[in-house]
C-alpha cells in the first residue's frame, strides 16, 4: 500500500516546524532570562516566572499557527509538487517564526527601557 504524497507531506512538515519552534523558543528564552532579571531588579523569582509564561505563550501561539496552516493542497500526487508545497509552507512558517522572535525581542528591550526609566525617575524624586 503506497502512502499518499499529502500524508507524506504532513509526516515531513510536522517534525520540521516542531523542531524549529522548540529550537527558537529554547534559544530565545534561555537568553531572555538575562533581560528579565534586568527588568525585574533583585526579583529573580518574578523574572523566572514571567520568562516561563512568555515561553508557554510563545509555544502555544507558534505551534497553534503551524497546525492552523497544516493543510497541503496537492493538485497532482507528484513529488515535485510536494517539495514545492513543503518549501512554501515551511518558508512561510519560518518567516512567521522570525517575526515572532523579533516581536519578543522588542518586548524585552521595551521592558528594559521602561525599567531603566522607572529607576531614573525614582532617583529624581
What would the mean pLDDT of 101-118 be, rounded to a whole number?
81
Residue 38 CA to residue 118 CA, distance in Å, equals 13
pLDDT band at 121 (very low <50, low <70, confident <90, very high): low
Rounded CA-CA distance 82/89 in Å is 10
Q: CB of 66 within 8 A of CB of 18?
A: yes
10 has a pLDDT exceeding 80: yes
* Residue 125 pLDDT exceeds 70: no
pLDDT tens readout for residues 54-102: 899 999 999 999 999 999 888 887 899 999 999 999 999 999 999 998 9
CA distance 79 to 96: 25
Question: Does residue 118 surpass a pLDDT of 70?
Answer: no
Amino acid at each position: 500500500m503506497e502512502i499518499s504524497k499529502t500524508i507524506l507531506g504532513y509526516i515531513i512538515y510536522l517534525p520540521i516546524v516542531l523542531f524549529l519552534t522548540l529550537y527558537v523558543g529554547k534559544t530565545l528564552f534561555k537568553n531572555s532570562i538575562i533581560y528579565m532579571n534586568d527588568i525585574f531588579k533583585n526579583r529573580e523569582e518574578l523574572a523566572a516566572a514571567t520568562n516561563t509564561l512568555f515561553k508557554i505563550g510563545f509555544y502555544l501561539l507558534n505551534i497553534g499557527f503551524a497546525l492552523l496552516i497544516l493543510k497541503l493542497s496537492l493538485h497532482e500526487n507528484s513529488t515535485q509538487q510536494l517539495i514545492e508545497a513543503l518549501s512554501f509552507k515551511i518558508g512561510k512558517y519560518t518567516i512567521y517564526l522570525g517575526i515572532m522572535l523579533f516581536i519578543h525581542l522588542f518586548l524585552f528591550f521595551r521592558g528594559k527601557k521602561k525599567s531603566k526609566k522607572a529607576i531614573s525617575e525614582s532617583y529624581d524624586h
